Amino acid sequence: MEKIIRNTVKDVPDFPKEGIIFKDITPVLKDSSVFSGLIDYMYERYRDKNIDSIVCVESRGFIIGAPLAYRLGVPLVPVRKPGKLPRETYKEEYELEYGKDGLEIHTDAIERGDRVVLIDDLLATGGTVSAASKLVKKCGAEIEEIFFIIELDFLKGREKLEGNKIHSIVHY
């Protein structure tokens, strides 16, 4: 799967700003055989792990988390930007290069003691998924693993996720 994803992801220079090489996963989504292969790969990885929920980070995490939750027959739990969820939430703020942002999860989204897989498309600096993992823990759940399609090793985001098991398909 690593070679297929690596060969399908496209580099977009200077996006969203000059000097950044954006790793575009939309070609993975466009190619139905690659996308279904990705979901099958994830299903095989987690089908025997007694997972209770798939927790996915807005918005690209939703794209890969939803079909996995369906295949596993477990709930899909969204983690969203502040103000997007309609009921009582837990909120976690995290640092950006210039300022702060936040994420929220419904307080009743996960049961205490549930085993979850936390999913996002890409691990860069780790701020977003670190906040998401703190939200899962506020709910009282256990993170079986944090899953990414891509990890940008040079940004050292994994360091912010110490104590968590992490799986990334492709490393740059």
CA–CA dist 115, 135 (Å, integer)? 14
Please spell the DSSP secondary structure of 148-166, one letter per residue.
EEEE-GGG-GGGGGTTS-E
Of all helices (H) and strands (E), which one includes residue 66?
helix 60-72
Check if 97 is active-site: yes
Residue among 45, 60, 71, 115 flagged as catalytic: 60
CA–CA dist 151, 149 (Å, integer)? 7
CA–CA dist 42, 169 (Å, integer)? 10
Quote the tokens at residue 25.
């996963």
Amino acid letter, residue 75: P
Check if 60 is active-site: yes
Pair type for strands 99-106 and 89-96: antiparallel
CA–CA dist 118, 79 (Å, integer)? 10
The residues pairing with 92 across neighbouring beta strands, listed in sequence order, are 103
Of all helices (H) and strands (E), which one includes residue 81?
none
Residue among 18, 97, 112, 162 flagged as catalytic: 97
Query: Which residues are annotated as catalytic?
Result: 60, 97
